[in-house]
């Protein structure tokens, strides 16, 4: 497995020379400065690729080449947006970047309610608190239908929190919920989010699936021609939020996606944290079922609460059996190698580390500190070494 590291380019306080000290050899990067829907020009791609290679790395995965929201909504004439996406794919392939991670979450990317929840022995982590999300939806956003999405005890806690909260508390909650998207994206205040949600009225699960199927049919043939691999990232959290459907949240969802376009180019980003936040998901089993279509892995762990809350655990200390999951990936790598596949080496990265020691207050992207991810990489490296030695 190829050790890789997510780097946010000019937006990142962590430098490539610092990343080199982790031992990782691959960089996961994107042109976050390009607005959604516009073509990633060859000049910009090549400049970034040259910068990464000059520092001694391979640019192994694009994360992400974003999908315009109009495509997700199926709104209007989409021919130019699809053409732009395919051109960006071609420009990336020409630069030698052949794996694209993307998601199909409407409007928001990963969502948390707390960016600095305390960890038992010191440090902080990302946390999704069900009652705070309910407070935001019901009492701040004023979405009455949200009451159907939360059990009564969570609603009671939500009201209690909202009633005692002050403006700073509500601003911090909004900031946390809006923090999942880096680069050229829209952040909303409450009124702006309310207006944005109106554009999705009537978009149910079936409609979103139909729009996703259309996206796959538009881009997967191009991926095949270019020798590229597309790999969808699961929903985070793996549940409907803000009244918007999520369609990449469960084993059944992934089964549907793989069947919707039965091509090796239509693959999966195996994110153990996103899938692990859904209590019905057996993450190692999902990985085993779709091992031949896993082109990238995010390895992290979560600890869940009965009310739907969850938080980022240490990489080997959560609800997912990371040793069993890693064994699935190593077994698949061996199968690919024996079959003579050039893509036998699956890139992975440690995901969403804790803020520890001098990470705290360092101003890195939420979930992407240096020391916490380095700890995760070291732990995962040990698991891989042990499993490889006993294979």
Contact 266, 216 (CB under 8 A): yes
Report the alpha-carbon distance of residue 244 to residue 112 in Å, rounded. Answer: 16
Surface-to-core class of residue 292, CB atoms within 10 Å of its CB (0-12 exposed, 13-18 middle, 19+ buried): middle
Q: In what order do the strands lie in the sheet with 310-313?
A: 114-118, 124-128, 310-313, 301-304
Angle at 277 between CA 272 and CA 283, to 5 degrees: 40
Active site residue 68: no
Q: Of 36, 150, 212, 368, which residue is the catalytic one?
A: 368
271, 290, 295, 359: the catalytic one is 271
Is 200 designated active site? no
Tokens in use for 59? 């640019």
| HEC profile of 249-266 | CCHHHHHHHHHHCCCCCE
Residue 12 annotated among the catalytic residues of the structure:
no
Exposed, middle or buried by CB within 10 Å (0-12, 13-18, 19+), for 264?
middle
Q: Considering 32, 139, 233, 290, which one is annotated as catalytic?
A: 233
233 is catalytic: yes
Options 12, 235, 236, 351, the catalytic residue = 351
- Lookup: tokens for 378: 């070291």
d(CA 156, CA 343): 51
Single out the catalytic residue among 68, 139, 290, 352: 352
Distance CA 244, CA 239 (A): 9
Task: Yes or no: say if 20 and 44 are a contact pair by the CB < 8 Å rule.
Answer: no
User: Which run of H or of E encompasses 128?
Assistant: strand 124-128
Closest listed residue to residue 309, CA positions, set 154, 103, 155: 154
Which of 139, 298, 315, 354 is catalytic? The answer is 298
- 231 catalytic per annotation: no
Q: Known catalytic residue: 315?
A: no
What 3-state DSSP class applies to 209?
helix
Show which residues are catalytic.
233, 271, 298, 351-352, 368
């Amino acid at each position: 497995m190829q050790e890789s590291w997510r780097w946010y380019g000019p937006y990142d306080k962590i430098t490539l020379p610092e990343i080199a000290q982790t031992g990782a050899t691959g960089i996961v990067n994107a042109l976050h400065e390009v607005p959604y829907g516009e073509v990633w020009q060859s000049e910009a791609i090549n400049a970034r690729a040259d910068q990464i290679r000059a520092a001694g790395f391979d640019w192994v995965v694009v994360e992400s080449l974003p999908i315009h929201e109009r495509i997700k909504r199926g709104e209007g004439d989409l021919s130019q947006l699809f053409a732009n996406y395919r051109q960006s794919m071609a420009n990336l392939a020409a630069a030698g970047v052949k794996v694209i991670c993307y998601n199909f979450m409407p409007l928001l990317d990963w969502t948390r309610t707390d960016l600095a929840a305390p960890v038992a022995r010191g440090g902080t982590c990302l946390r999704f608190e069900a009652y705070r999300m309910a407070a935001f939806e019901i009492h701040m956003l004023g979405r009455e239908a949200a009451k159907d999405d939360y059990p009564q005890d969570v609603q009671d806690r939500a009201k209690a929190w909202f009633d005692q909260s002050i403006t700073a508390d509500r601003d911090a909650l909004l900031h946390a919920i809006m923090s999942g998207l880096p680069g050229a994206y829209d952040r909303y205040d409450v009124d702006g989010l309310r207006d944005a949600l109106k554009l999705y009225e009537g978009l149910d699960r079936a409609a979103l699936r139909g729009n996703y199927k259309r996206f796959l049919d538009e881009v997967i043939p191009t991926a095949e021609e270019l020798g590229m691999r597309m790999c969808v990232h699961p929903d985070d959290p793996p549940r409907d939020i803000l009244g918007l459907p999520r369609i990449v949240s469960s084993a059944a969802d992934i089964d549907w996606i793989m069947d919707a376009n039965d091509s090796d180019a239509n693959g999966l980003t195996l994110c153990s944290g996103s899938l692990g936040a859904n209590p019905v998901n057996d993450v190692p089993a999902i990985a085993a079922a779709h091992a031949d279509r896993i082109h990238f892995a995010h390895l992290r762990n979560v600890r869940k609460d009965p009310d739907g809350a969850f938080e980022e655990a240490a990489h080997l200390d959560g609800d997912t059996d990371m040793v069993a999951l890693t064994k699935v990936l190593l077994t698949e790598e061996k199968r690919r190698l024996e079959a003579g596949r050039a893509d036998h080496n699956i890139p992975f990265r440690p995901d969403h580390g804790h803020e520890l020691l001098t990470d705290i207050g360092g101003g890195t992207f939420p979930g992407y500190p240096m020391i916490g991810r380095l700890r995760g990489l070291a732990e995962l490296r040990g698991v891989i070494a042990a499993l490889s030695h006993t294979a």
